[in-house]
Every structure is written in structure tokens, then in C-alpha cells.
Amino acid sequence: MEGVKIELEMKTLALKRVQVAHALQKRVEKNNSESESIMAILKNILTLNCSILKAQQQTRDLEEKMLEIKKKRLMLKNTGRKKLLEIQTENKKRKDDLNLLKNSASITNMKKNLQKEIDTTTIIQNVFQHIVMAAKIDWAADPTLKAIILQLEKNFNYI
């Protein structure tokens, strides 16, 4: 029902526009001062209509550009999310690999063996130092012996 009412109104408006245009055409044909003012008004209306059409076209163009920019922005946003997810996945994988490496049995075994070797080296250094001290040799006077004794002072526990 509403559609029929709207259609009737549209047809009525179109008929009235045709009637007004016909009446204006009859008045303009009379060639008097009133017809000149009507022609000036019609020219002004045409100019305004052209301006409106240009503005509407510019609006459509700008809306299309804005839509394209929104599409690109959404695409970049999705790409950024994918890259962030890839980075997070890569970081998690790297952490897992590092934890696996730290907790591996071979690394733990190697650390134990290294600590045993460091302890043994420290004991040997102390024995040599005590031998030199017990021999009551003036090791500070001999440069090579001095270098050996000072070398024995290194602590390998900080390695």
C-alpha cells in the first residue's frame, strides 16, 4: 500500500513539473520583460543544478577513495596481525628450543664433567703452590718461576 502511495505521489510531482514547464514555456514565448526575468531565473537554476551535480560527483569520487583507503587499511591491519602472530610463534619456538637445550641431559652431563675438571685443576694448583712453598725457594726472584706461581693463582670456578 505504501509503495503505491509513493508511486502516485511521484507521478503527481512529475505531472506538476511538466505543467509548470509548459506554463513557463508559454510565458517565455510572449517576449516581454517578464519572460526575460524568467529566462534569467532558469539560467540561474541550470547553473545551480550543474554545480550540484558536480558536487555530487565529487562526493561519490571521495567516497570511493575513502572506501579504497579503508580496504587497504583493513588489509594492512590483517597483515600486521598475521606478522605479529608469526613473530610470537617464532619467539615461543625459540624459547622452547632454548629450554630444551638447557634441560638436555647431555648439557647437564657436560657441566658436571667440566666442574669435576675444574675442581681437579684447582687441587693440582694448590698442591704445586704448597710444594714450592715447602721447598722454601725464592720464587719471586726467578721470573719464569714467578710467572708459573702467579699462573697457579687463577681461579677456574669463574669460567
Q: What are the pLDDT tens digits along the chain (159 aa)?
A: 889 999 999 999 999 988 988 888 887 777 777 777 878 888 898 899 899 999 999 999 999 999 999 999 999 999 999 999 999 999 999 998 888 777 777 778 888 898 898 888 888 888 887 887 788 777 778 888 777 777 776 666 655
Residue 155 confidence (pLDDT): 64
pTM value is 0.44
Contact 99, 119 (CB under 8 A): no
- 42 touches 21 (CB < 8 A): no
**CA atoms lying within 13 Å on the CB side of residue 21:** 6
Amino acid identity of residue 94, one-letter, is: R
Alpha helices in the chain (DSSP H): 2-29, 33-102, 105-134, 143-152
